[in-house]
Structure 1
Amino acid sequence: MFLAETANCHVFNIEYPLAPEHPFPVPVLVTYEVVQWIFQHTDTLHLDAARIAIGGHSAGGNLATAISLWNAEQTHPVPLIAQILDYPPLDLATDPADKSFFKEAIPTEQARQFNAMYIARAEDAYHHLTSPLYAAQIEALPQTLVLTAELDSLAQEAQQYAKRLQAAGVHVEHLEFAGQPHAFTHHGDANVALQAWQRIADFLRHVFQSAKRS
């Protein structure tokens, strides 16, 4: 509701199939079908087809990244103009025990369980749609906002992805929130969370206004 009102846009929350009942690639494929459906029905939904962005928090950020990558590989991609990645897990191949750890971070064993439930086949751990950090082709991705939390074991991989996008010529904005844990926009300090939500809204407003002018 906050984004819809502050950025003056429609917001669709996609209820994608969940692991372990529906491991990779099911959530990616189903979510992309919904994105395509939205684009195909913009007239009925009273949307501007030239101003569609995608984003997500945590696992949703992983999915949003995967959708952007998958979309860029299509012959007729949906014209996504931006992606917003909020503390996303982008490297499911590296053992969580080998990532930075803070007492506020997701416990190592729990992180391992999350990865194991989503990745049914070991060889998929390095697939670019499960671990976007390893994607080879990223030049065609839309402008990106990346939010990370200082006390999150996932922050480093999101930072690395932002740097890779920037090096590939993609317009990237990266903000790290000092002293914040994973999921701080939903379960952290309310004032800091509001700052993050406001930054997302400002980013969306700028993206949509730029698209309208062009």
Structure 2
Amino acid sequence: MSEAHPDIKAVVSEVPPLHQFSVEQAREGYADYLSVEQDLASLADVRDSVVPGPDGNTVPIRVYTPEGEGPFPVMVWLHGGGFLLGGIESYDPVCRVLADELDCIVVSPEYRLAPEHKFPAGLRDCYAVTEWAADRTDVLGTDSDELFVGGDSAGGNLAAAVSLMARDKGGPDIDYQVLVYPTTTFSYEFADEASGGESYFITEPDLEWSWEHYLENDIDGMSPYASPLRASDLSDLPPATVLTAELDPLREEGVAYADRLEDAGVPVEHTHYDEMVHSFFTNVAEPRVERAWDAMAEIDAHLDAAFADDKEQEDLLVA
């Protein structure tokens, strides 16, 4: 197995194991880790709003609109953080880059976090925001009917679960899902000690700590909406991009989910990043990790390819 690439090792080698802290301490440390002072992208508009939630609550959102004429697709991006950490502010730099690089409107929800709100509260918020985004393209300033969901780590889990829920409930119509090193099962059957060393950001004990806070019990963990890999049927889901990292304890469950999607007839683009660790995707600022930007370009290429035929047909109709 490779050593971590020097670019990413320099960023994460001093990050202590999350499970050694209280949730509040871990939240503060995670926010500091993602904090960026530099301006990473030039956008047309960034604004905050709220969306009606599923349980009489409201879900804060931040909407990022790229420069240009559009119409722009809409991507609901669900942040990582083990279902416990992160939020609109900490993921602001990543969402700015996503909007700019993918040339799409990005909707970032402040979904409810565990342990204050256990499964499925946060997922229900994510689904409510996705429904809202599908029905409010006029409010978002676009007449595009292309809707994507995506997320990294726990956010990748939530994006996969939202896609499953949308299929099972008959909507909204999600056109693509982007799953960046997603956690897809709570049961650790893919535990890989060699990829979880102390210099590689998260370890198996960190994952266990996260799931213990997120789930009320193991029965909840068996739900496909908590563990998408446990779904009996993955057919009729949106096409997917799945990114995995070599030195990541979530690597094999991400690979397994990509394989199961493909076996179910879902078009899948799976890209594996050697020498990379969990969290590399969010390292878009100085000290810059070039493969984070490579991953952004990879997602952009996959989306362009997936919708090339649709765009050609639209151009023919206009002509």
TM-score by length of 2: 0.63
CA RMSD between the two structures: 1.7
- Structure 2 residue runs without a partner (length 5+): 1-95, 314-319
Equivalent-residue separation in structure 2 for 1:212 and 1:177 (angstroms): 30
Residue 207 of structure 1 and its aligned partner are, at CA, apart by 3.4
Deviations 1:97-139, CA, capped at 9 Å, x for gaps: x601221252222211100011112211111011111111211
The number of equivalent residue pairs is 211
Equivalent-residue separation in structure 1 for 2:99 and 2:203 (angstroms): 33
Structure 1 partner of 2:51: none
| 1:157 counterpart = 2:256 | no
Residue 166 of structure 1 and its aligned partner are, at CA, apart by 0.5
Structure 2 partner of 1:121: 217
Look up the SS of the partner of 1:80 in the other structure: coil
Query: Which of 172, 175, 180 is the equivalent residue of 1:86?
Result: 180
- Structure 1 residue runs without a partner (length 5+): none
Q: How does 1:55-134 map to 2 (within 5 A)?
A: 55-75=150-170, 77-94=171-188, 99-101=191-193, 102=195, 103=197, 104=200, 106-134=202-230
Structure 2 partner of 1:145: 241
The question of whether the paired residues in 2 share the 8 Å contact of 1:146 and 1:158 is answered with yes
Equivalent-residue separation in structure 1 for 2:186 and 2:144 (angstroms): 33
Query: Which of 251, 256, 272 is the equivalent residue of 1:176?
Result: 272
**Larger CA Rg, structure 1 vs 2:** 2
Look up the SS of the partner of 1:173 in the other structure: strand
| 1:205 counterpart = 2:301 | no
- The 3 A distance-change label for structure 1 pair 159 and 202 is same
Residue 164 of structure 2 aligns with an amino acid whose one-letter code is L
Residue 195 of structure 1 and its aligned partner are, at CA, apart by 0.7
Residue 42 of structure 1 and its aligned partner are, at CA, apart by 1.2
The question of whether the paired residues in 2 share the 8 Å contact of 1:51 and 1:208 is answered with no
Equivalent-residue separation in structure 1 for 2:162 and 2:229 (angstroms): 14
Residue 2 of structure 1 and its aligned partner are, at CA, apart by 2.4
The question of whether the paired residues in 2 share the 8 Å contact of 1:148 and 1:176 is answered with yes
Equivalent-residue separation in structure 1 for 2:191 and 2:143 (angstroms): 41
Equivalent-residue separation in structure 2 for 1:187 and 1:8 (angstroms): 20
